[in-house]
Structure 1
Amino acid sequence: MKQLKLSTLLLFLFLGFSSCSSVSSLNPLQMLTGNNWVLSSLMGGGLDMFSGGLPSLGFTDDGKLTGSTGCNSFSGGYELNGTNINLNPGAMTKKACPGNGENQFLDALKNVSNFKVGKDKLTLLDGASELMTLIPQGK
């Protein structure tokens, strides 16, 4: 009986450590580039300021950043260092956009310094402060 309990405990410990190692081996770059990300919250609030569509971000393996402000499209770049990230929207179309959603989104984008990413959520932060949350397109 004691041997069965010890075997069960060892099995749980093995599974626990093996699952931890698989989580730590996840590559943030692969998780960023595996999706086109659509805005789900901005500065902790709703998205009613975007009447033309929701902003989105796309990351490529070679450091290119593409996306939309919900009105205008942009193409720039990003630099990644661990979980620190610098976003540069670069060149942007210049359509007139209703409201101030585009400006709020771009202002938040300029302040991004780090991120957290999972399978179903990308959180862009300024240190500990959440600036925006994005989800994979189609979810």
Structure 2
Amino acid sequence: MKKLSNVLFLLVFLSFSSCDSISKMNPLSMLTGNNWVLSSILGGGLDASKFTAGLPFLNFMDGGKLSGFAGCNNFSGNFKLDGTSLNLDPGAMTKKACGDGNGENQFVSLLSQAKNMKVAKDKLTLFDGAKELMSFVPQAK
């Protein structure tokens, strides 16, 4: 009986240890390798009609490189990550004439306001302090 309780104690300890290591995963490794597709703006739903050429997405790459699509135009810039503090610079952007939707302007404006983030395997959320700006989900492969 004592051996069984020791084994159970060890299993519980290992379970909590592995959960702790998951919560301490490097945020950069969770950001890179995905196209993060916009799923909400300002904590609400997403009006896809504002993005006439498709939903915006972000792609974080090694070396602090950032690329993406803003709903009509592509961009290529940089990002800086320090813990959960984040600075996004969309950099150069193409200059295509876009349709009636004004979603791209709002998207780019909110990108520049992002100061911090929270990332998990299935969701990236950008914040300005405590204010939720946008959330993203990994693009289906």
- Regarding TM over 0.5, the answer is yes
Please, what is the CA RMSD of the aligned residues?
A: 1.7
Amino acid at match of 1:127: G
Amino acid at match of 1:47: D
The residue that corresponds to 2:133 in the other structure is 131
The residue that corresponds to 2:18 in the other structure is 19
TM-score, normalised relative to structure 2: 0.88
The Cα offsets for residues 41-83 of structure 1, whole Å up to 9 and x where unpaired, read as: 1112213211210001001110011001110000010111011
**What's the secondary structure of 2:5's corresponding residue?**
helix
The residue that corresponds to 1:76 in the other structure is 77
Q: How does 1:28-107 map to 2 (within 5 A)?
A: 28-43=27-42, 44-48=44-48, 49-98=50-99, 99-107=101-109
Whether the 8 Å contact between 2:52 and 2:98 is mirrored in structure 1 is: no
Whether the 8 Å contact between 2:70 and 2:104 is mirrored in structure 1 is: yes
For residues 70 and 55 of structure 2, the distance between their equivalents in structure 1, rounded to whole angstroms, comes to 7
Whether the 8 Å contact between 1:59 and 1:65 is mirrored in structure 2 is: yes
Aligned-residue sequence identity (percent) comes to 61
Q: CA deviation at 1:19?
A: 1.9
For residues 56 and 100 of structure 1, the distance between their equivalents in structure 2, rounded to whole angstroms, comes to 16
The alignment status of 1:115 with 2:114, answered yes or no, reads no
Q: CA deviation at 1:7?
A: 2.7
For residues 126 and 58 of structure 1, the distance between their equivalents in structure 2, rounded to whole angstroms, comes to 20
Q: Which moved more, 1:68-77 or 1:95-104?
A: 95-104
**What's the secondary structure of 2:16's corresponding residue?**
helix
For residues 23 and 123 of structure 2, the distance between their equivalents in structure 1, rounded to whole angstroms, comes to 17
Whether the 8 Å contact between 1:39 and 1:55 is mirrored in structure 2 is: yes
For residues 8 and 139 of structure 2, the distance between their equivalents in structure 1, rounded to whole angstroms, comes to 41
Amino acid at match of 2:123: K
Q: Which runs of 5+ in 1 are unaligned?
A: none
Q: CA deviation at 1:127?
A: 1.2
TM-score, normalised relative to structure 1: 0.90
Amino acid at match of 1:20: C
**What's the secondary structure of 1:62's corresponding residue?**
helix
- Report how many residues are paired: 138
